[in-house]
Chain A
């Protein structure tokens, strides 16, 4: 007769896992699942996950260095573009990823171990991992094959900036995800908003030429600070933009996280319902 019960009915097995153990296994399972669905949703998925953003950045580099012949203050333009564009794209994909996390993972809330917050954690981890991988691939290729200087100047500060970027993106992502859940129409507006933000953060055009008082207005944008601080810490001879610091985006990130977590606490039941 076939065994119809589970493989190891073991009554001595500990009845309860701690919350931390549950969260750890949920995050691990969700991260693997996110990667699997990235890799399996199309042919050669694993290749495209890396190739798509790389192609996007490389095309920009070619256009601006060869066709437009642009120069950046004190550093090779291609490198300047890489260390500004990649962090911005990472933040944007974290924000868009979190925005869609609840609706994309709706069916998983059947398992009470999985809460919307876990899907935020998993999506953020996957985005950071792929962005770091892309950064390493592109930087490696440019340094070893094209002879560019290594885009690592102050690694610890680079890491600190990366942490602030992730926190700030997560805060915005959670807030937007709650907003989109309450008001689905807002998703389109938020997505649209990122096009001007792309330009206003100095990702593809240097902002040093902007006259006063407009330049001071630009300084309200935390993305601009983050992009430029990352450039300062990764490129040795880079001339920093005036008035840029890490403190302002860090404070924005903390305030944003506070609001995000508070709003999440209030709305978490509605996120799981129906």
Chain B
């Protein structure tokens, strides 16, 4: 269960405080729910995800999360270019307190990412698709209650997306997913419910189709 109470967010810019990105959001995300976050570029999707994921703090307001959440899987974030995929994977295992079963976890990551020999090459040589495969595999290696995906699953190719969708179906009975994406098919494939971000406000929809409809209507205007 994630409870968001009246959060506001603005960033400090070189010329003083920026404009409000989020203006008083309140909603509850029930456990084991797959939620798609929809909105135009700059609507605050990534900001909301990083606040929900605990990376960033809201300027005002409160987020309560009584669950284990993954980090926001974004493009290549959280990996050091000079280290290999394996070294990065081991780092993330240690970070999450899995020093004792690090072998199994790394083996799982290697198997799921399916990037072959590149797993032992520096991450800086990876393509963006390979990075997102690795990032996605790393987060699946831990038992999170909620997975946060910042458009990352959309970066993979067809086989990766199929694999990811299957993984989330298997996880559906114990985990939820928060996902920001633009592709309608991706959102429909992964999510049941939707949050539509528009002009600093959030609108909750139980059905993702309705959220997409509201998004399209806002563009049409």
Residues of B contacting A11 in the complex (Cβ-Cβ under 8 angstroms)? 143, 174
Residues of A contacting B71 in the complex (Cβ-Cβ under 8 angstroms)? 110-112
Given the complex of chains A and B, what is the CA–CA distance between A36 and B108 in angstroms? 22
Say yes or no: A13-B143 contact (C-beta < 8 A), given A36-B87, A111-B78.
Answer: yes
Q: Does A7 lie within 8 Å of B105, measured CB to CB?
A: yes
- Is A29 close to B, CB under 8 A? yes
1/0 per residue, CB under 8 A from B, across A96-127: the answer is: 00000000000111111110000000000000
Contact segment of B164-172, B178-186, B203-211, B212-220: B164-172
- Is B57 close to A, CB under 8 A? yes
B54 to chain A, nearest CB (A): 4
Q: Does A272 lie within 8 Å of B99, measured CB to CB?
A: no
- Is A15 close to B, CB under 8 A? yes
Q: Does B142 lie within 8 Å of A25, measured CB to CB?
A: no
Q: Could you tell me how many residues of chain B have their Cβ less than 8 Å away from some Cβ of chain A?
A: 44
Residues of A contacting B112 in the complex (Cβ-Cβ under 8 angstroms)? 4
The contact size tier of chain A is 35 or more
- Is A263 close to B, CB under 8 A? no
Given the complex of chains A and B, what is the CA–CA distance between A269 and B97 in angstroms? 25
Q: Does B105 lie within 8 Å of A107, measured CB to CB?
A: no
Q: Does B95 lie within 8 Å of A114, measured CB to CB?
A: yes
1/0 per residue, CB under 8 A from A, across B74-110: the answer is: 1011111011000100011011110101001101100
Supply 24 A–B pairs (Cβ within 8 Å), ascending by A. Answer: A4-B163, A4-B167, A6-B105, A6-B108, A7-B104, A7-B108, A13-B143, A16-B68, A21-B97, A22-B97, A25-B97, A29-B91, A29-B95, A32-B94, A37-B80, A110-B77, A111-B55, A111-B71, A112-B53, A112-B54, A112-B55, A114-B95, A269-B56, A273-B12
What 8 pairs between A and B have smallest CB-CB spacing?
A29-B94, A112-B54, A110-B78, A4-B167, A110-B77, A7-B104, A25-B97, A7-B108
9 further interface pairs, Cβ-Cβ under 8 Å (given A5-B167, A25-B94, A25-B95) = A2-B111, A4-B140, A4-B166, A28-B94, A33-B80, A33-B83, A110-B77, A272-B56, A273-B12
Chain A contact residues, CB within 8 Å of chain B = 2, 4-11, 13, 15-17, 21-22, 25-26, 28-29, 32-33, 36-37, 40-41, 107-114, 269-270, 272-274
